[in-house]
Structure 1
Amino acid sequence: MGVQDLAIHVKGLEPAAYDPRTLKGMILNNAIAERGADHLWSSAYAVDIAGQAGGRFATGEEKVRAVMDIEERNALYDSMLLCKFGRAIYTWDVIRDVMKAVTGFNYTVDELREAAQRIIVLHRYMNGTTIEQDRLPPRWLREPVEYEGRQYVVTEEEWSFMVRKYYELRGGYDEVGRPRQDTLARLKILP
């Protein structure tokens, strides 16, 4: 066992207080966050704690979609310099209205979503991130944490399903998690 097996980090960044063994949306958040185990990349803990998308232990497609939605809104919050604690206020319609008030442009929600997707995919493309970097610390997969009298780990199946479903739903990552050329062209990142 080496140091990499002991260290709790993703892409070199240690996680915040939100444990993916009992807040399962954080499996995906930590795996796909380009900055590493950054709880603010998609704020999936907010989905889990609020009991949305099947609740804190859900790992299905509904949870993946909910994490993607907040990931996209967070990309815009970062670009607009909005506080993420306002995530319940800044719905897609409010973001659209704020953008119009500030810029005068009449963006549609679909155009804003596409801009957010462009930001997310561009990060991944520039960093060269693949599924190997999207791995979680081995200790989360083998060392349980107790919550309400039960023991929990992240299973390889939970991680694999969520990450691969994310690649599929993100609309254009290959089997190892790289953005495909048609995705880069659709989002106007490359010709």
Structure 2
Amino acid sequence: MKKLEEFCKERWLWKEGLIIAICAALFYVYFQRPIGISSGYATLSYLLSESSVDFNRAKIFAIVNIGIIFGAMIAAWSERCLGKWKLFGKKIRWKQLSLALAGGLLMGYGAKIANTCLVGTMLSGIPNGSFQGWFFLLFLVPGVPVGVYLIKLVNGFTLNSANRKNAGQGGSQT
């Protein structure tokens, strides 16, 4: 547990990038297509809506998404075990939860309408030089700060000096 705690304390920027690049490359080599998320969720939804689930018909992309869900659960659990997991040091409010759920549903709906997803665009569209990837990036860059501002506005969150110190050390945003 001590090694995990030390590993989680340091910044991961280059390590995370390297891990993601290796996983994306291996996925591309093995399946001859880039990683995508939204199609897998649609496949899972279809399979789970049937009376009997036949996992032989499940595409590998749906199974990859199950891994993403479990990976997120493990990451949240490890953060909680290390005492870092907090949501701005406050209880989750219904307003915040409903906005998060609505935002997630709208992102998924938009991904299906656009016939792509955020992960697919970032890991395949931009590196391949597709117009959609660069168009996405053009709106992502200003959109993220606006989204962060709106989240702070809804939550009444301010970044005081104690939070800045924790955020600068790679700690949680309490």
- Normalising by structure 2, we get a TM-score of 0.25
Q: Larger Cα Rg: Structure 1 or Structure 2? A: 2
Considering Cα pairs closer than 8 Å and 6+ residues apart, tell me whether 1 or 2 has the greater RCO: 2
Greater percentage in helix: 2
